[in-house]
């Protein structure tokens, strides 16, 4: 089978898949940390961005917040708590969640807040507002492509002696327009990404899509030293590169190709409005919070907030690897969201993809 199918079963098959078996995955007692593990600050800063989006859309009463990849529901709970007492208190909130065990866990974290659950973008009602995710796109099933003789071939998974191994599969004909690389070079592509973005775009009358994830531009991903690709597995805070071993017991992930994502988004009707690393995103997004903290005597709460901010922003923890991509649909260009005020021009993400189109080789 294609590796993407193997990954889909290993992570999402109900009931035994890694994310579908009811075991806690994120946090100290789980397998890996995310920005949500640093405390409620991340949600609070995202809430600030959503308030700015609400203003940019002219303050509509029907502003809706949609989260996908919510896992335990902590992040949305943090966002909604931070919106209490603001113009978005009590706004509509939707979780896009196909897995029953996660819907139950999210309901506990959201503790009676009026949230709606839908299983897929196709079941969403048309909405105005924001679709956001933290570490969703890296978790979408991907193909692992290997370069051979100027072509890219998808690796397939076959059974072998009670386990699994890779064997070269079919040539991928220009599927993702990757430029040629030396023989043996590995790269990942996500077949479901396009349809996912199209599905969201079809339901978004106007608004923003904010995707935070780890990854980089395509040019950086295909740099000569990344010959082994970026796929990795996580279990109990240990990393390995053996996705075919012990399926269902560990996370399988790869860096997000943000150029590919931006290009797929443009094809789905979104405009790219911002791209930056989490460090610069949060320097901008936390400016108001830091002004507030400056004006009051230091206390336990402010010390906690500053510690969280450091974890989220520091380049050696989450500041450099993680990126924020902002897309918009049906929104006139206007003031920049504070989180993107220090970002460089995002259009280069798309230009890069176009470079790949023009270069010789696959596609």
Residue from 7, 10, 26, 264 touching ligand SAM (CB under 6 A): that is 26
When the beta carbons of 181 and 190 are compared against ligand SAM, the nearer one is: 190
In the complex, least distance from residue 82 CB atom to ligand SAM, rounded to whole angstroms: 16
In the complex, least distance from residue 26 CB atom to ligand SAM, rounded to whole angstroms: 4
In the complex, least distance from residue 13 CB atom to ligand SAM, rounded to whole angstroms: 12
In the complex, least distance from residue 100 CB atom to ligand SAM, rounded to whole angstroms: 11
Q: Tell me, what DSSP letter sits at residue 214? A: E
When the beta carbons of 69 and 215 are compared against ligand SAM, the nearer one is: 69
Residue from 4, 71, 193, 278 touching ligand SAM (CB under 6 A): that is 71
When the beta carbons of 26 and 154 are compared against ligand SAM, the nearer one is: 26
Residue from 2, 30, 34, 337 touching ligand SAM (CB under 6 A): that is 34
Alpha helices of 204-242 — where are they, by DSSP H?
A: 218-221
In the complex, least distance from residue 7 CB atom to ligand SAM, rounded to whole angstroms: 10
Is 206 within 8 Å of 212 (Cβ atoms)? no
Measured CA to CA in angstroms, residue 223 lies from 147, 180, 219, 361 at distances of: 14, 12, 6, 16
The answer to whether residue 97 forms part of the interface with ligand SAM (CB under 6 A) is yes
260 contacts: CB under 8 Å, gap ≥ 6: 176, 189, 190, 193, 218, 353
Six token digits for residue 241: 């590169």
Residue found under tokens 């051979």: 148
Site for ligand SAM in 236-265 (CB under 6 A): none
Alpha helices of 97-164 — where are they, by DSSP H?
A: 100-110
When the beta carbons of 47 and 362 are compared against ligand SAM, the nearer one is: 47
Q: What is the DSSP string of 145-173?
A: EEEETTEEEEEEEEEETTEEEEEEEEE--
Dihedral angle of Cα 231, 234, 239, 245, to the nearest 10 degrees: -70
Site for ligand SAM in 143-182 (CB under 6 A): none
Tell me the per-residue interface mask from 310 to 329 with ligand SAM, x by CB under 6 A, - otherwise: --------------------
When the beta carbons of 75 and 144 are compared against ligand SAM, the nearer one is: 75
Angle at 47 between CA 43 and CA 50, to 5 degrees: 140
Residue found under tokens 């990854």: 215
Of the listed pieces 90-98, 257-265, 278-286, 292-300, which binds ligand SAM according to CB under 6 A?
90-98
The answer to whether residue 36 forms part of the interface with ligand SAM (CB under 6 A) is yes
Residue from 5, 13, 52, 98 touching ligand SAM (CB under 6 A): that is 98
Rounded to an integer, what distance in angstroms lies between the CA atom of residue 69 and that of residue 209? 13
3-state secondary structure 221-259: HCCHHHCECCCEEEECCEEECCCCCCCCCCEEECCEEHH
Rounded to an integer, what distance in angstroms lies between the CA atom of residue 219 and that of residue 202? 30
The answer to whether residue 68 forms part of the interface with ligand SAM (CB under 6 A) is yes
The answer to whether residue 193 forms part of the interface with ligand SAM (CB under 6 A) is no
Binding-residue total with ligand SAM (CB under 6 A): 19
When the beta carbons of 4 and 147 are compared against ligand SAM, the nearer one is: 4
Give the three-state DSSP class for 358. Answer: helix
In the complex, least distance from residue 159 CB atom to ligand SAM, rounded to whole angstroms: 25
Site for ligand SAM in 110-149 (CB under 6 A): 134-136, 139-140
282 contacts: CB under 8 Å, gap ≥ 6: 45, 309, 312, 313, 319, 339
The answer to whether residue 69 forms part of the interface with ligand SAM (CB under 6 A) is yes
When the beta carbons of 4 and 34 are compared against ligand SAM, the nearer one is: 34
Half-sphere exposure of 200 toward its Cβ, with a 13 Å CA cutoff?
31
Six token digits for residue 49: 């961005």
In the complex, least distance from residue 25 CB atom to ligand SAM, rounded to whole angstroms: 7
Residues at the site binding ligand SAM, with contacts judged by CB under 6 A: 19, 26, 34, 36, 68-71, 75, 96-99, 102, 134-136, 139-140
């Amino acid at each position: 089978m294609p590796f993407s199918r193997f990954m889909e079963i290993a992570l999402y098959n109900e009931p035994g898949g890694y994310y579908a078996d009811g075991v806690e995955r994120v946090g100290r007692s789980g397998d890996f940390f995310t920005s949500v593990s640093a405390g409620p600050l991340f949600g609070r800063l995202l809430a600030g961005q959503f308030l700015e989006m609400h203003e940019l859309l002219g303050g509509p009463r029907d502003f809706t917040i949609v989260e996908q990849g919510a896992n335990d529901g902590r992040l949305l709970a943090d966002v909604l708590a931070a919106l209490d007492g603001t113009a978005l208190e009590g706004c509509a909130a939707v979780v896009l969640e196909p897995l029953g065990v996660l819907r139950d866990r999210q309901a506990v974290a959201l503790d009676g807040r009026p949230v709606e659950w839908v299983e897929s973008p196709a079941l969403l009602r048309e909405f105005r507002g924001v679709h956001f995710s933290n570490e969703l796109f890296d978790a979408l099933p991907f193909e692992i492509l290997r370069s051979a003789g100027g072509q890219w071939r998808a690796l397939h998974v076959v059974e072998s002696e009670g386990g699994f191994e890779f064997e070269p599969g079919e040539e991928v004909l220009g599927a993702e327009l990757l430029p040629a690389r030396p023989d043996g070079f590995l790269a990942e592509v996500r077949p479901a990404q396009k349809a996912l973005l199209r599905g969201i775009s079809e339901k978004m009358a106007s608004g923003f899509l904010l995707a935070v994830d780890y990854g980089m531009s395509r040019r950086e991903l295909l740099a000569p030293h990344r010959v082994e690709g970026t796929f990795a597995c996580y279990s109990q805070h240990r990393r390995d590169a053996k996705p075919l071993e012990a399926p269902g017991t560990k996370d399988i992930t790869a860096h997000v190709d943000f150029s590919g994502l931006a290009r797929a988004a443009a094809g789905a009707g979104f405009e790219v409005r911002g791209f930056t690393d989490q460090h610069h995103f949060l320097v901008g997004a936390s400016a108001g919070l830091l002004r507030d903290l400056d004006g009051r005597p230091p206390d336990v709460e402010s010390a906690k907030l500053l510690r969280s901010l450091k974890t989220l922003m520091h380049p050696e923890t989450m500041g450099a690897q993680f990126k924020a991509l902002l897309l918009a649909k049906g929104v006139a260009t206007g003031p920049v969201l504070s989180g993107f005020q220090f970002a460089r021009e995002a259009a280069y993400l798309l230009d890069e993809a176009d470079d790949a189109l023009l270069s010789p080789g696959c596609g």
